[in-house]
Amino acid sequence: MAKGKKSRAKKAKEFNISQTRTMFASKFYLEQFAELSGYYRKQGYTRDTDLSTLDKDELKRITKQAEGRLFKRIKKESDDFVVILIKHDKDEVTDGVWEVATAKPHYHLLFKVKDYKKRTKASTVLNRLGIKFDKDRDEELVKGHGLEVPEYFENYAKYLIHNTVQARKDNKYEYSVDDLVMNISVDDYHDLTAVSQSKLKLSKREVDEYVRDLIPYIQSAGESFKDWELLYDDLPLDVKRNSRDVKILQDKYNLGLRKGIESHGPLPKVNIYVKGTANSGKSYASLEVLRRRGRTHEINGGKTGKFDTMTSDKKCLIVDDNTVSDVLNLFDYKPAMTYRRGSGNAVCMTTTNIVTSNLDFNEWLLDCGVEPEAGYDANGKKIFKTEWTQEKGFVRVPNKAHLDAMLSRFSEVHVRLARLGKDKFYHEFFVVRYATRGSKAHVEEVKAQVDAIVADMNEISKGRVVDSSGCPL
């Protein structure tokens, strides 16, 4: 097995709780809380005790109290140490055939002194935090990752949230950085884990084995729309140095993305086109209403690399006075692949999308690259179809098939001045038409969501009072 693929267990060494160390990791359960230990003793708790017979409300109260005290103690720890804790309560276990269940909730604690010349006993740290290991009762727990010394502190820190290739390969639940309790900042945590892979040294044979063994997982990760940059960050430095190996993995990842998109079921989307003049508040209200609904990917101004920061976990998209390519796929009711410069492509899974513009919908489509409607004269010369507009005279119109497809996908909202009081106005958003694509039930659901969004936009807009000319008061 290549070094880069070793499990956390094989990278860590067990040790005695009374030994001094510069760093250690501990895995413990509710039973190890000092508060819970006392409660269990009063109840006559043993390893064979049926926990269902215990007072659940009282147990819940004590657990919450014990957790709160532990979290507070960790956050107040000295600047001389780094302490990181996480509660794993979403891990799954299986019998390997059928049964899948949630593993017993447990905690992982990672400790390190900043000055390597200083050492401390694990027992001192744990006792200070209110964690008790009974020698007789918990001997097996200590051996089962209860106490161990990580080979690399930084790698273990990444493992805590299962943000490693091996953890994902083992289908472990991936926690968020927000789930961590630490006496360092989130930025410090990211800085800490960013260097983790630089410490892994692999031979050429090990690199080849690592890449070969990783290919199925990388492709599967693509099919699940995992983010390439996170996968790339987990690669050992010796793999990253070889552009050929990286390209092999990236190609397999993109293959997985395409398969994932093809096999994914319908992704109902709410697409809204907001037309309004400059300074009508359409951008502000649109962005604010989307941020209330989830993580939002923003495309605005003259920004290049429009999807460089796109990730599949983003729920909303705003195209603010800008254009995008491949609009037919991007706003269709399915996942869409997007291009990122310098990194793997990403899948757009947003379900609430808003485009703001001062252009007619037809004009915006043409600016996005939708083909104009065209025919040929008697001499075979292409003639573009045009239509008369009051504002611009004759203008080209998009290909009818594409125009009809996009009209069915989008609801359209316009902006106008509305009176709020004497000499006070606001920019009112109102629906011009609704999307018609999908089943009757889906069309009605879209209408309801559009109405709710427009109502929120008007609520937001009323906070920007303007005069009769549209200028802020």
Quick one: pLDDT at residue 153? 79
Tokens of 208: 């080849």
Return phi, psi of residue 394, to 5°: -80, 130
Co-location of 301 and 415 in the same domain: yes
Could you tell me if 114 and 129 lie in one domain? yes
- Vertex 73 angle, CA 72 and 79, to 5°: 115
Asked if 377 and 401 sit in the same domain, the reply is yes
How far, in Å, are 11, 16, 159, 179, 235 from residue 145 at the CA level? 11, 12, 13, 21, 25
Buried/exposed 429-459: b ≥16 CB within 10 Å, e otherwise: beeeebbebbeeeeeeebbebbeebbebbbe
Please report whether residue 440 resides in a domain.
yes
Ordered DSSP codes for 83-130: EEEEEE-S-EEE-SSS-EEEPPPEEEEEEEESSTT--EEHHHHHHHHT
Partnered with residue 92 across adjacent β-strands are 102
Domain residue limits at 372:
270-461
The answer to pTM > 0.75 is: no
In a domain, 473, yes or no: no
Q: Are residues 174 and 208 in the same domain?
A: no
Strands 120-121 and 346-348: unpaired
Say which CATH number the domain at 61 has.
3.40.1310.30
- CA 397 – CA 394 distance, rounded (Å): 10
User: 469 in a domain, yes or no?
Assistant: no
Phi and psi of 326, rounded to 5°?
55, 45
Given a contact cutoff of 8 angstroms between Cβ atoms, the answer to whether 465 and 423 are in contact is no
Q: Is residue 467 part of a domain?
A: no
Q: 18 in helix, strand or coil?
A: coil
Residue 155 Cα distances to 8, 51, 92, 371, 429, angstroms: 9, 35, 22, 51, 51
Please choose, from the candidates 163, 158, 159, the residue with its C-alpha nearest in 3D space to the C-alpha of residue 145.
Answer: 159
pLDDT at 8: 44
Write down the pLDDT at residue 138: 60
- The first and second tokens of residue 201, run together, are 């040294």
Q: Does 254 share its domain with 146? A: no
Please give the Cα distance from 25 to 125 (Å, whole number).
11
Contact 165, 49 (CB under 8 A): no
What pLDDT is recorded for position 113? 86
Final residue of a domain: which of 263, 292, 308? 263
The Cα 164–Cα 156 span in angstroms is 9
Q: CATH code at 398?
A: 3.40.50
Cα separation, 448 vs 82, whole angstroms: 50
- Predicted confidence at residue 34, as pLDDT, reads 81
Low-confidence ranges of the chain (pLDDT < 50): 1-11, 95-98, 198-199
Domain count, the chain: 3
Looking at residue 140, what is its pLDDT? 61
pLDDT value of position 454: 97
In whole angstroms, give the CA distance from residue 215 to residue 252: 7
Look at the block and give the residue holding tokens 């993580």.
295
SS3 of residue 200 by DSSP: coil
